[in-house]
Amino acid sequence: MDNLVKLTIDGVSVEVPAGTTVLEAAKQAGINIPTLCYLKDINQYGACRMCVVDTGARALGAACVLPVAPNMVVKTNTPKIRAARKTNLELLLSNHDMKCLNCTRNQNCELQQMCLDLGVENPERFAGKMNQYDIDDLSPSIVRNNNKCILCRRCVAACNKTQGVGVIGPVGRGFKTRIASPWDHPLNDMACINCGQCIAACPTGALYEKDSTKEVWDLLADTTKHVIVQPAPAVRAALGEEFGLPMGKCVTGKMAAALRRLGFEKVFDTDWAADLTIMEEGTELLGRLKNGGVLPMITSCSPGWIKFCETYYPEFIPNLSSCKSPHEMEGAMIKSYWAQKEGIDPKDIRVVSVMPCTAKKFECKRPELGHDGMADVDAVITTRELARMIKEAGIDFANLPDEDFDPFLGESTGAAVIFGTTGGVMEAALRTVYEVVTGETLQNVEFTAVRGIEGVKEASVQVGDLTVNVAVAHGTANAAKLLDSIKNGEKTYQFIEIMGCPGGCVTGGGQPIVSAQKRMECDPKQLRAAALYAEDEGKALRKSHENPAIKAVYEEFLGEPNSHKAHELLHTTYTAREKYSK
Amino acid sequence: MPDNKEKYAQLQESIAKHKGERGAVMPVLQEAQGIFGYVPEDVQQMIADGLGVTLAEVYGVATFYAQFSLEPKGKNVIGVCLGTACYVKGSQKIMDKLSEELQIEVGRTTKDGLFTLNATRCLGACGLAPVMMINDEVYGRLTPDQVPAILDKYRA
Give the confidence band of A370 by pLDDT, cuts at 50, 70, 90: very high
| Residue A249 near residue A531, CB atoms below 8 Å | yes
- Say how many CA atoms lie within 13 Å of A182 toward its Cβ: 26
Crossing angle of helices B147-155/B91-102, nearest 10°? 50
Record: contact B45-A580, CB cut-off 8 A: yes
Determine the average pLDDT of the residues in B141-146.
96
Is the minimum CB–CB distance between B119 and chain A shorter than 8 Å? no
- pLDDT for A492 beyond 60: yes
Residues A48 and A139 in one domain: no
- pLDDT tens digits, one per residue of A258-286: 999 999 999 999 999 999 999 999 999 99
Residues A59 and A22 in one domain: yes
C-beta atoms surrounding A463 within 10 Å: 17
Coil, helix or strand at residue A157: helix
pLDDT at A109 > cutoff 80:
yes
**Which of A390-415 are b and which e, b meaning 16 or more Cβ less than 10 Å from the residue's Cβ?**
beeeebebeebeebebbebbbbbbbb
Supply the pLDDT for residue A2: 61
Tell if the CB–CB gap between B60 and A183 is shorter than 8 Å. no
Q: Which residues of B touch A580 (CB under 8 A)?
A: 41, 45, 55
Q: Do A160 and B54 touch (CB under 8 A)?
A: yes
Distance separating alpha carbons of residues A405 and A253, to the nearest angstrom: 8
CB pairs < 8 Å spanning A and B: 42
Taking CA–CA distances from A168, the nearest residue in chain B reads: B56
Domain boundary among A182, A209, A236: A209
Asked if A168's CB is within 8 angstroms of B55's CB, the reply is no
**How would you list the strands of the sheet with A495-499, edge to edge?**
A297-298, A495-499, A466-474, A456-463
Q: In this predicted model, what pLDDT tens digit does every residue of A190-238 receive, in sequence order? A: 999 999 999 999 999 999 999 999 999 999 999 999 999 999 999 999 9
Q: Cβ–Cβ of B41/A182 closer than 8 Å?
A: yes
| A183 Cβ under 8 Å from any chain B Cβ | yes
Count of structural domains within chain A? 3
8 Å CB contact of B54 and A167: yes
Q: By the 8 A CB rule, do B25 and B47 touch?
A: yes
Residues A190 and A255 reside in one and the same domain: no
List CB contacts (< 8 A) between B63 and chain A. Answer: 171-173
Active-site positions of A? 281, 284, 301, 321, 360, 363, 368, 505
What is the dihedral sign for C-alpha A331, A334, A339, A340? positive
| Interatomic CA distance for residues B102 and B150, integer angstroms | 12
| pLDDT of residue A582 exceeding 80 | no
User: Domain check: are A189 and A305 in the same one?
Assistant: no
In 3-state terms chain A splits into helix, strand, coil percentages (rounded to 5) of 40, 15, 45
Q: Point out the residue among A170, A173, A182 whose CB comes nearest to the CB of B55.
A: A182
Residue ranges in A334-380 assigned as alpha helix (H)? 339-342, 359-363
Q: Is A423 a residue whose pLDDT tops 90? A: yes
Above 90 in pLDDT, residue B107? no
- Residue of chain A whose Cα is closest to the Cα of B53: A166
B57 part of contact set with chain A, CB < 8 Å: yes
* A437 and A491 share one domain: yes
Q: Is the pLDDT of residue B3 over 80?
A: no
Look at A182 and B64 and tell me if their CB atoms are within 8 Å: no
Query: End of a domain among A35, A61, A77?
Result: A77
- Can you tell me the distance from the alpha carbon of A92 to that of A133, in angstroms, rounded to the nearest whole number? 16
A183-196 average pLDDT score: 96
| Cβ partners under 8 Å of residue A382, min gap 6 | A196, A209, A354, A355, A356, A357, A358, A509, A510, A511
Domains of chain B: which residue ranges? 2-64, 76-155
User: Which tens digits make up the pLDDT trace of A2-31?
Assistant: 689 999 999 999 999 999 999 999 999 999
What is the spatial distance between Cα A261 and Cα A263, in angstroms, rounded to a whole number? 5
For A113-135, what is each residue's pLDDT tens digit?
Answer: 999 999 999 999 999 999 999 99
Query: How confident is the model over A468-479, as a mean pLDDT?
Result: 98
Specify whether A204 is located in the same domain as A138. yes
Cβ separation of A580 and B59 shorter than 8 Å?
no
Non-local (6+) Cβ contacts of A413 within 8 A are A271, A275, A539, A541, A542, A543, A544, A546, A547
Q: Exposed, middle or buried, A54 (CB in 10 Å: 0-12/13-18/19+)?
A: middle
B58 close contact with A: CB closer than 8 A:
yes
Q: What is the pTM of this model?
A: 0.92
Number of other CB atoms surrounding residue A219 within 10 Å: 19
- The average pLDDT across B125-139 equals 95
Q: Which residues of B touch A172 (CB under 8 A)?
A: 63-64
pLDDT classification of A372: cutoffs 50, 70, 90: confident
Evaluate if residue B1 carries a pLDDT over 80. no
Residue B136 class from Cβ within 10 Å (0-12 exposed, 13-18 middle, 19+ buried)? Answer: exposed
In whole angstroms, how large is the CA radius of gyration of chain B?
18
Evaluate if residue A459 carries a pLDDT over 50: yes
Own/partner long-range contacts of A182-189 (Cβ < 8 Å, ≥24 apart): A182/B41, A182/B44, A182/B55, A182/B56, A182/B58, A182/B59, A183/B41, A183/B59, A183/B70, A185/A581, A186/A136, A186/A138, A186/A139, A187/A136, A187/A138, A187/A139, A187/A142, A187/A144, A188/A136, A188/A138, A188/A139, A188/A140, A189/A138, A189/A581
Mean pLDDT of A365-372: 93
> Residue A421, class by beta-carbon neighbours within 10 Å (0-12 exposed, 13-18 middle, 19+ buried)?
buried
Q: Does the beta-carbon distance from A169 to B41 stay under 8 Å?
A: no
* Residue A412: predicted pLDDT: 97
> Strand, helix or coil at A429?
helix
* Shortest Cα–Cα distance, A189 to chain B (Å): 13
Say if the Cβ atoms of B59 and A182 lie within 8 Å.
yes
Identify all chain A residues contacting B44, using CB atoms and an 8 Å cutoff: 182
A175 and A274 within one domain: no
Three-state secondary structure readout of A1-19: CCCEEEEEECCEEEEEECC
Q: Can you give the CATH number for the domain in which A391 is found?
A: 3.40.50.1780
The correct answer on CATH 3.40.30.10 for the domain covering B76-155 is yes
Q: Using CB atoms, pick whichever of B45, B59, B66 lies closest to residue A169.
A: B59
- Give the domain range for residue A139: 127-209
Q: Residue A294, by phi and psi: left (phi above 0), alpha (psi -120 to 50) or beta?
A: beta
- CATH, range B2-64: 1.10.10
Determine which helix (DSSP H) or strand (DSSP E) holds A75, and give its type and residue range. Answer: none
SS3 content of chain B, % helix, strand, coil (to 5): 55, 10, 35
- pLDDT tier for residue A571 given thresholds of 50, 70 and 90: very high
Is residue A289 within 8 angstroms of chain B, CB to CB?
no
CB contact under 8 A, B63 and A167: no
Are residues A306 and A416 located together in one domain of the fold?
yes
Q: Write out residues 138-177 of A within 8 Å (CB-CB) of B.
A: 156, 160, 165-173
Interface contact A169-B54, CB threshold 8 A: yes
Listed range (A514-518, A520-524, B68-72, B97-101) with the worst mean pLDDT: B68-72
Lowest-pLDDT range of A98-112, B61-75, B124-138:
B61-75
Which tens digit of pLDDT belongs to each residue from A57-95?
Answer: 999 999 999 999 999 999 999 999 999 999 999 999 999
Average predicted confidence (pLDDT) for chain A: 97
In-domain check, residue A95: no
For residue B134, pLDDT over 50 is answered with yes
Q: Which helix (H) or strand (E) element contains residue B138?
A: strand B137-139
Q: Which residue of B has its CA nearest to A580?
A: B45
Phi, psi at B133, each rounded to 5° = -120, 140
Average pLDDT of A571-579? 96
**Section A453-459 average pLDDT:** 97
Interface check for A484 against chain B (CB to CB < 8 A): the answer is no
Each residue of A292-320: pLDDT tens digit? 999 999 999 999 999 999 999 999 999 99
Chain A residues near residue B58 by CB distance under 8 angstroms = 182
ipTM for the predicted complex comes to: 0.91
Section A549-556 average pLDDT: 97
**Residue in B55, B66, B70 nearest the CB of A580:** B55
Please check whether residues A310 and A417 belong to one and the same domain. yes
Which CATH number is A45's domain given? 3.10.20.740
Asked if the model's pLDDT at residue B2 lies above 60, the reply is no
- Residue from B41, B55, B64, B71 whose CB has the most chain A CBs within 10 Å, to mutate: B55
Question: Residue A172 is nearest to which of B41, B56, B63, comparing CB atoms?
Answer: B63
| Over residues A526-534, mean pLDDT | 98
Average pLDDT over residues A391-408: 97
